[in-house]
Structure 1
Amino acid sequence: MRKNISQINKEAIITVLLYAFYFCWWYYFAYIYKAESNKFILGLPSWFFYSCVLGLVVINVLVFIAVKLFFKDIDLD
């Protein structure tokens, strides 16, 4: 049972770190990034594209990798 708790804690820490990374990414490009006022990517303002579109793709890839490498099926009984 102790091994299950340590695995659950490890998965929770990884999840929180991934969320913190995503929030920092989104915040930087949404509020700090100084884009040229007329720069558009795929018809979207560059700050929006980087924070919402590219950020979503990046975090989805990172979550997929984290789940494949670090998460394990455990019996909760």
Structure 2
Amino acid sequence: MKEEQDPRFQVAKREAWIGVGLVLFNFLWWFGFAYGFGSFPVEDYQYIFGMPAWFFYSCVVGSIVMIVLVIIVVKFFFKEVPFTKEERDEK
């Protein structure tokens, strides 16, 4: 006989996959801008606020985008689950 799985595991699995998706998006963003703009000779670099454009877009803008995405995902897609039996019984 198969035991009934705790529904919290389904929530955790879904949220873990969302986290993996965010990590992959972050890596693709960083890689695309870092190697897209950074593959030119140094003499041809464009600069933004004194930083090479590849660094500015991959690291600075990428960090801001990821912070906003994580806030949105946690606020709208993640769900609070009770950890103890007492908390589950209260709900």
TM-score over 0.5 for the pair: yes
Deviations 1:9-64 (A, max 9, x none): 11100000000000000011111235682411111110000000000000110000
Query: What residue ranges of structure 1 are gaps of 5+ in the alignment?
Result: none
Give the corresponding residue for 1:6.
Answer: 10
Correspondence list, 1:1-77, <5 A = 2-33=6-37, 37-77=44-84
Choose 1 or 2 for highest CA Rg. Answer: 2
Deviation above 2 Å: which 4+ runs of structure 1?
A: 32-36
RMSD after superposition? 1.7
Count of residues in Structure 1 that have an aligned counterpart in Structure 2: 77
Provide TM-score, normalisation by structure 2. Answer: 0.76
Please identify, of 26-35 and 48-57, the stretch whose mean Cα deviation from structure 2 is larger: 26-35
Identity of aligned residues (%): 44
